[in-house]
């Protein structure tokens, strides 16, 4: 490979990182407050909920499926938490919420793997059902959380905020599962080619089912972290958050077609999205510019990712030279 | 128990409406039916609005045909067509999109069924319908003017943040404009350093205000375009160690909009300085009167404004009975 091509490829492979540096420099030049340590802490705290959701979404995307119901799962579990569990010690409440979320994930997983319904349709249906149940339960009222829950937002260990701790714990767990276990390798195999994986003896349906449960579990935990931050849930809670989670995963290099990506990339994607939003807030940008800037950066990252994939495919393609006549 | 509570709410809201002097003409309805089509019950404002409409219709002896479209314009158009097919006597509608509702208005015009838009006007069109809308700009301006006065009295210059709603929602834009009109009158006392678009999203509101406080730790004046974002404002201010009542040195001058029960509670506890209140009772009466007048062939303006009012720390005792949020708060807290 020529050195120029190698440089271009290196650039494309690290495009999200380059984009991140450009974002940092741009906002850093516009406001000295942006590059403050306290602001980075802020960004990671704000990225924690969407990052946790996106980690769960990564598992499902890696198997070439999608879960559109995570926002509704968040809303349902948060509503149940507000209505029934706030009197319990928070670890117990969190446990119950994650169990409920896992049940939702199991239902999605069963419909997809046993009935063979496309995940897009399955989770779109559960989105409406779960949101409807949550609205019925809450009578569409805003449900406030008591201080014992919201104070968790300001709690931490050794000065590290609880949201960052939760984010780090979920990331570490997901990284170990995906990269250090046979189960993780099987997920990639199923996403790459489910039929080939099945022929190789991998229980593809069971793997896919487990990924839906993991995704819903992350939605439960991510929802819990969110309510500690925002203090109340209303009928719009979790609305369209699935798109942000998918965007974070794709920004981090996870393929929508399965089999490619990592949770480290997803975490990076979530932080990049929140960095852009934070930067716009910090420089007091014109409110009309927000969607333009955020959308452009996501589009750019995804376009570069597509270009990188195409170039890599081209470079890796084996060429067979025709025999030349003497 | 729950049914009793709801009945009590409905009764209380009606009693307030009657006590406030807005005529509730108990006209014989002759089995007339009104279709009430909301796009969703996304906050306590809409829940309370629907309850008041239901009760008003019941009191007048009208039948009611309800439907919720879940922000789906096509679904709402089908609901309008179904209502027309059933030959209802009027349609009260809350649409999601001001343009997408125009075919529904034209369909109602063709069927000669009066249509009234509750709290959200349609886009400009040659089709005829009546819109009931709060005078958002005026109400926001009055509430923020009071808070600017508080800022002036403090003798300090305050840095301000505004939480703007969805930029595609005319109500949100009018509230922002009302805020701007007020603060422009106090250039020596209030400087706007953060304009935060929330898209009516609690998470974006929390993150936006937290970030604004990071950039400007001395923000001491906050206006929210809707009270439903109050829990997120409280969380942000608590995290910044700025959550304190009126009179405390750390107090952030806080102004809300809508008149939620939570806003009343914060006013009562002296954490909030002022709140722009939409007069739901009056808006319901306007909507019903418009339908009756249109049925009777009387001319009705295309836009009927609810002047609303600002409730402040100075007038809370005198005005709270007109605040729908107070009625709900009283029902819940006795």
Domain ranges across chain A: 49-261
pLDDT tens-digit map of B37-65? 998 887 788 888 898 899 899 998 999 99
* Domain identity same for B152 and B111: no
Interface test with A, best of B40, B202, B243 (most A CBs within 10 A): B202
Residue A323: predicted pLDDT: 59
Kindly state whether residue B19 falls inside one of the protein's structural domains: yes
Q: Would you say residue B7 has pLDDT above 70?
A: no
Q: Of the segments A6-15, A29-38, B7-16, which one has the largest average pLDDT value?
A: A29-38
Give the one of A38, A229, A233 whose C-beta lies nearest to B235's C-beta.
Answer: A229
Residue A324: predicted pLDDT: 59
Mean pLDDT of A107-134: 94
Q: Which of A291, A277, A292 is nearest to A34 (CA)?
A: A277
Residue B96: predicted pLDDT: 83
Is B43's CB within 8 Å of A235's CB? yes
CA atoms within 13 A on the CB side of B22: 20
Spell A249-288 as b/e; 16+ CB within 10 A means b.
bbbbbbbeebbbbbbbbbbbbbbbbbbbbbbbbbbbbebe
* Domain identity same for B272 and B286: no
Q: Would you say residue B26 has pLDDT above 80?
A: no
Q: How confident is the model at residue B10 (pLDDT cuts 50, 70, 90)?
A: very low
Q: How far is CA B230 from CA B227, B254, B262, in A?
A: 5, 10, 8
* Domain identity same for B165 and B252: yes
* Domain identity same for B140 and B249: yes
Contacts of B235 in chain A (CB under 8 A): 150, 153, 229-231
Residue B170: predicted pLDDT: 83
The tokens for B279 are: 């007069």
Residue B126: predicted pLDDT: 92
Give the one of A38, A150, A234 whose C-beta lies nearest to B235's C-beta.
Answer: A150
Contacts of B202 in chain A (CB under 8 A): 230, 232-234, 236-237
Is B47's CB within 8 Å of A290's CB? no
* Domain identity same for B121 and B176: no
More confident of the two residues A220 and A317: A220
Domain boundary residue, one of B226, B261, B277: B277
pLDDT tens-digit map of A165-174? 999 999 999 9
Is A65 an interface residue toward B (CB < 8 Å)?
no
Kindly state whether residue B322 falls inside one of the protein's structural domains: no
Residue B331: predicted pLDDT: 83
Q: Would you say residue B14 has pLDDT above 90?
A: no
Residue A190: predicted pLDDT: 95
Mean pLDDT of chain B: 88
Kindly state whether residue B211 falls inside one of the protein's structural domains: yes
Residue B17: predicted pLDDT: 43
Q: How confident is the model at residue B16 (pLDDT cuts 50, 70, 90)?
A: very low
More confident of the two residues A256 and B271: B271
> How distant is the alpha carbon of residue A52 from its chain centre?
6
Residue B262: predicted pLDDT: 92
Three-class SS state of B256: strand
Residue A257: predicted pLDDT: 85
* Domain identity same for B147 and B114: no
Kindly state whether residue B75 falls inside one of the protein's structural domains: yes
More confident of the two residues A141 and B140: B140
User: Rounded distance, CA B275 to CA B313, Å?
Assistant: 9
Give the one of B208, B231, B238 whose C-beta lies nearest to A232's C-beta.
Answer: B231
* Domain identity same for B129 and B227: no
Contacts of A234 in chain B (CB under 8 A): 42-43, 202, 228
Kindly state whether residue B332 falls inside one of the protein's structural domains: no
Residue A301: predicted pLDDT: 74
The domain that holds B257 is classified in CATH as 3.40.50.2300
Mean pLDDT of B203-230: 95
Contacts of B208 in chain A (CB under 8 A): 277, 281
User: A37: nearest CA in chain B?
Assistant: B214
**Percent over 70 (pLDDT), chain A:** 94
User: Rounded distance, CA B72 to CA B50, Å?
Assistant: 18
User: B2: nearest CA in chain A?
Assistant: A139
Give the one of B44, B202, B235 whose C-beta lies nearest to A237's C-beta.
Answer: B202
List all residues of chain A from 160 to 219 with a beta carbon under 8 Å from chain B.
none
Residue A304: predicted pLDDT: 77
Residue A319: predicted pLDDT: 59
* Domain identity same for B72 and B122: yes
Q: How confident is the model at residue B2 (pLDDT cuts 50, 70, 90)?
A: very low
What does R_g of chain B's alpha carbons equal in angstroms?
A: 21
Contacts of B214 in chain A (CB under 8 A): 33, 36, 38-39, 42, 282
User: Rounded distance, CA B109 to CA B122, Å?
Assistant: 14
Q: Would you say residue B183 has pLDDT above 90?
A: yes
Name, in order, each residue with C-beta under 8 angstroms of A19's C-beta and a sequence gap of 6 or more.
A272, A297, A300, A301, A304
pLDDT tens-digit map of B272-289? 999 999 998 899 999 999
Mean pLDDT of A9-23: 80
Residue B1: predicted pLDDT: 38
Q: How far is CA B199 from CA A233, B107, B167, B206, B282, in A?
A: 16, 31, 7, 12, 27
Is A284's CB within 8 Å of B262's CB? no
User: Rounded distance, CA A233 to CA A75, Å?
Assistant: 7
Residue B207: predicted pLDDT: 95
List all residues of chain B from 223 to 242 with a beta carbon under 8 Å from chain A.
228, 231-232, 234-235, 238-239
pLDDT tens-digit map of B226-265? 999 999 999 999 999 999 999 999 999 999 999 999 999 9
Is A230's CB within 8 Å of B40's CB? no
Kindly state whether residue B315 falls inside one of the protein's structural domains: no
* Domain identity same for B33 and B153: no
Give the one of A49, A231, A281 whose C-beta lies nearest to B208's C-beta.
Answer: A281
* Domain identity same for B122 and B170: no
Kindly state whether residue B297 falls inside one of the protein's structural domains: yes
List all residues of chain A from 264 to 303 with a beta carbon under 8 Å from chain B.
274, 277-278, 281-284, 286-288, 290
Its domain, for residue B163, covers 136-277
Kindly state whether residue B333 falls inside one of the protein's structural domains: no
Domain count within chain B: 2
Q: Would you say residue A41 has pLDDT above 50?
A: yes
* Domain identity same for B11 and B118: yes
* Domain identity same for B269 and B149: yes
């Amino acid at each position: 490979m020529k050195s120029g091509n190698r440089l271009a490829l290196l650039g494309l492979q690290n495009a999200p990182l380059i984009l991140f540096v450009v974002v940092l420099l741009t906002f850093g030049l516009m406001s000295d407050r942006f590059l403050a340590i306290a602001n980075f802490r802020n960004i990671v705290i704000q990225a924690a909920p969407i990052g946790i959701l996106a980690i769960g979404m990564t598992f499902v995307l890696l198997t070439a499926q999608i879960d559109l119901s995570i926002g509704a799962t968040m809303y349902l579990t948060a509503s149940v938490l507000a209505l029934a569990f706030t009197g319990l010690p928070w670890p117990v409440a969190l446990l119950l919420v994650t169990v409920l979320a896992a049940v939702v994930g199991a239902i999605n997983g069963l419909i997809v793997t046993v009935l063979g319904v496309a995940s897009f349709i399955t989770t779109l249906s559960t989105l409406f059902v779960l949101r409807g149940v949550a609205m019925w339960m809450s009578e569409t009222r805003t449900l406030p959380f008591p201080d014992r829950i919201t104070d968790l937002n300001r709690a931490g260990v050794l000065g590290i905020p609880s949201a960052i701790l939760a984010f780090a714990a979920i990331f570490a767990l997901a990284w170990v599962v995906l990269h250090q276990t046979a189960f993780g390798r099987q997920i990639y195999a199923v996403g790459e080619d489910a039929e080939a994986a099945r022929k190789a003896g991998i229980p593809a349906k069971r793997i896919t089912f487990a990924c839906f449960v993991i995704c819903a579990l992350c939605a439960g935990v991510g929802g819990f972290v969110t309510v500690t931050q925002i203090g109340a849930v209303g009928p719009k809670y979790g609305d369209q958050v699935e798109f942000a989670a998918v965007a974070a995963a794709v920004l981090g290099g996870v393929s929508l077609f399965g089999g490619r990506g990592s949770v480290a990339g997803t975490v990076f994607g979530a932080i990049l999205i929140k960095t852009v939003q934070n930067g716009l807030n910090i420089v007091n940008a014109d409110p009309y510019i927000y969607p333009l800037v955020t959308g452009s950066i996501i589009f750019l990252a995804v376009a570069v990712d597509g270009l990188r994939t195409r170039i890599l495919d081209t470079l890796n393609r084996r060429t067979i030279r025709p025999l030349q006549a003497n | 128990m729950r049914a009793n509570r709801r009945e009590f709410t409905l009764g209380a809201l009606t009693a307030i409406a009657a006590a406030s002097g807005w005529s509730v003409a108990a006209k014989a309805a002759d089995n007339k039916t009104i279709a009430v089509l909301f796009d969703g019950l996304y906050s306590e404002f809409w829940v309370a609005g629907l309850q008041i409409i239901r009760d008003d219709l019941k009191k007048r002896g009208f039948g009611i045909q309800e439907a919720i479209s879940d922000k789906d314009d096509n679904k709402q158009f089908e609901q309008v067509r179904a209502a027309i097919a059933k030959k209802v006597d009027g349609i009260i509608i809350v649409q999601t999109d001001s343009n997408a509702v125009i075919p529904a208005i034209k369909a109602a015009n063709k069927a000669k069924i009066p249509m009234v838009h509750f709290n959200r006007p349609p886009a400009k069109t040659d089709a005829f319908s009546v819109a009931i809308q709060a005078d958002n700009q005026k109400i926001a301006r009055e509430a923020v003017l009071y808070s600017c006065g508080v800022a002036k009295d403090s003798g300090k210059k305050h840095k301000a943040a505004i939480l703007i709603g969805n930029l595609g929602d005319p109500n949100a834009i009018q509230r922002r404009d009302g805020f701007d009109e007020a603060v422009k009158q106090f250039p020596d006392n209030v400087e706007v350093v953060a304009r935060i678009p929330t898209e009516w999203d609690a998470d974006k509101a929390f993150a936006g205000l937290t970030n604004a406080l990071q950039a400007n730790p001395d923000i001491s004046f906050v206006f929210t375009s809707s009270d439903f974002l109050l829990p997120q404002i409280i969380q942000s201010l608590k995290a910044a160690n700025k959550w304190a009542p009126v009179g405390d040195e750390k107090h952030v001058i806080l102004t809300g909009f809508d008149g939620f029960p939570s806003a009343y509670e914060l006013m009562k506890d002296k954490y909030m300085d002022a709140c722009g209140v939409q007069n739901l009772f009056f808006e319901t009466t306007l909507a019903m009167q418009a339908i009756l007048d249109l049925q009777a062939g009387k001319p009705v303006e295309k836009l009927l404004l609810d002047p609303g009012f600002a409730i402040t720390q100075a007038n809370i005792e005198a005005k709270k009975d007109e605040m729908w949020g107070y009625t709900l708060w009283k029902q819940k807290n006795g």
